[in-house]
Structure 1
Amino acid sequence: MNHLKPSQIEQLKAALLEEKAELEAHFELNAAHTEDGGPATMQEADGELSSYDNHPADAATTTFERERDMALDEKLGKKLAQVNRALSQMEDGTYGLDAESGEPIPFERLEAIPSTRHTVQNVPDRDPAPERPVEEQVMTLPPKGAGEGRQSHAGRFDDAGAWQAVEDYGNASRTVDPQAEAEAANEMEKLR
């Protein structure tokens, strides 16, 4: 840690302590919503006595929000662990050194990411995101030639124009005046 000036160390420590306070406040706020600090039940989360009369989409929304919150808590928990590790490294004198090579991490990098353990050159490779969704591994391929029929029958009726075709006949909410409909169709043709 000898490559860092005492004023730099104090600046970084203040940043780490501020980040730690924000992260701990997040977890204290979430723990205040439950009696034992654990996750609330579905009934407590949505305030319903029974989910019997709820639409399945309501339950899905609640489930999604709970899973999102759990993922955020997991991510923020890892970040809090990194901040705590950086603070303990400040105490034992190993802060600011690369975890792999032991070379000094530049102050500018520490200023940007105070809890980092690596220089830019030594950041471990992360698993790349899969190129295609995992669902595609179990999906069946479309039939051979799908879409070719639409191209070869261009200009003919396909399902894409179904609403327009139905709309031309009118609907039950208004009376149909064939003369007015014909005039309107002619006007539309002129505009095209």
Structure 2
Amino acid sequence: MLSEKQKKEFKERLLQMKTEAENQMEEYQQDQAKEDFENDRTGEISSIADHPGDQGTDQFERAKEQTFYEQAREKLMEVEDALKRMEEGRYGLSEKSGEPIPIERLEAMPTARYKVEEAEKINQQ
């Protein structure tokens, strides 16, 4: 079981991760607000593309930004779930077996829900 000191350290780390994810999502949303003025986003003077490759690059960049947003959103959900488990006294215990998750795993992945062996079995299914 985790000591109170360890729980406090993990909670601080989770809150920091939450802030980072929220900041990433907000940054993306601010960039999307610029969509109304596409030229501000691309730095182009004219709204007519000079080359078809420019359109492809812009499309690639938008897809990449969307991927980063989705990753930040998933991270935020995982962190919020870990904080909820902490409030309920279930943090650090496997959701599958109820056994303690090794501290090394939690240090590497503070949002871990399962022991490594259990996660591997779940991913194989």
After the TM superposition, list the runs of 4 or more consecutive aligned residues in structure 1 that deviate by more than 6 angstroms: none
Q: Name the structure 1 match of 2:89.
A: 93
The amino acid across from 1:61 in the alignment is: T
SS of residue in 2 equivalent to 1:32: helix
The amino acid across from 1:29 in the alignment is: E
Change (3 A) 1:7 1:114: same
| Aligned alpha-carbon RMSD (Å) | 2.1
Q: Name the structure 2 match of 1:43.
A: 38
Q: Name the structure 2 match of 1:8.
A: 6
Unaligned runs of 5+ in 2: none
State which structure, 1 or 2, has the greater radius of gyration over its C-alpha atoms.
1
Query: 2-side partners of 1:22 and 1:76: how far apart?
Result: 8
Q: Name the structure 2 match of 1:55.
A: 51
Query: 1-side partners of 2:36 and 2:66: how far apart?
Result: 13
Q: Name the structure 2 match of 1:173.
A: none
Query: 2-side partners of 1:72 and 1:126: how far apart?
Result: 26
Shift of 1:31: 2.2
Query: 2-side partners of 1:30 and 1:70: how far apart?
Result: 8
Query: 2-side partners of 1:92 and 1:46: how far apart?
Result: 47
Question: Among residues 55, 76, 82, which one is paired with 1:80 in the alignment?
Answer: 76
Report the number of matched residues: 121
Unaligned runs of 5+ in 1: 128-192
Shift of 1:126: 5.8
> How high is the sequence identity, in percent, across the aligned residues?
37
Q: Give the TM-score, by structure 2 length.
A: 0.85
The amino acid across from 2:12 in the alignment is: A
Bigger RCO (CA 8 Å, 6+ sep): 2
Query: 1-side partners of 2:8 and 2:109: how far apart?
Result: 15
Matched, 1:104 2:105: no
Q: Give the TM-score, by structure 1 length.
A: 0.57
SS of residue in 2 equivalent to 1:78: helix
The structure where helix makes up a greater share of residues is 2
